[in-house]
């Protein structure tokens, strides 16, 4: 099996989350289907809290893909169904992190994703 560029990014992101940010591998789910407004979509990585709520959604792109507003719109659509606390977008070269504010229906960029401590 040939490792495609997006899968390379996904695997390295999982290593980053587990080794650098202490996310338990048992809380990480990769490449699963979900329904967004009745349409089947696939997310790249979801990290769950111990209580089963969603802590983090990660959208992975191949290194040659520029991260732009369309990429943020994609993860925002997924988050309508998942309601994660944090969002991360990466192409393996650039990484963006956000925390959600559901009261004001907005998100705020972070310098880094917090270590897992739940």
Asked if the structure places residue 117 within a domain, the reply is: no
Asked if the structure places residue 115 within a domain, the reply is: no
What CA–CA distance (Å, rounded) separates 37 from 60? 22
Structure confidence by residue, pLDDT tens digits, 62-103: 999 999 988 888 888 788 778 999 999 999 999 999 999 888
What CA–CA distance (Å, rounded) separates 108 from 68? 16
Average pLDDT of the segment spanning 5-10: 92
Q: Cα 56 from chain centroid? A: 6
Asked if the structure places residue 59 within a domain, the reply is: yes
CATH number, domain at 57? 3.90.1570.30
Please give the model's pTM, rounded to 2 decimal places: 0.89
Beta strands at 28-36 and 39-48: parallel, antiparallel or unpaired: antiparallel
User: What is the number of domains present in the chain?
Assistant: 1
Structure confidence by residue, pLDDT tens digits, 98-107: 999 888 888 8
Instruction: List the domain range (segments joined by +) for residue 53.
Output: 5-110
Where in the chain does DSSP place strands (E)?
A: 28-36, 39-48, 54-60, 86-90, 95-101, 106-110
């Amino acid at each position: 099996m040939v490792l495609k560029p997006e899968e390379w990014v996904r695997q390295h992101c999982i290593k980053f989350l587990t080794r650098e940010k202490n996310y338990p591998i048992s809380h990480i789910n990769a490449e699963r289907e979900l329904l967004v407004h009745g349409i089947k979509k696939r997310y790249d990585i979801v990290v769950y809290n111990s209580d089963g709520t969603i802590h983090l959604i990660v959208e992975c792109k191949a290194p040659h893909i520029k991260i732009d507003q369309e990429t943020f719109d994609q993860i925002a659509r997924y988050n309508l169904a998942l309601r994660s606390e944090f969002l991360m977008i990466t192409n393996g070269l650039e990484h963006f992190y956000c925390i959600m504010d559901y009261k004001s229906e907005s998100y705020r960029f972070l310098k880094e994703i917090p270590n897992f401590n739940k």
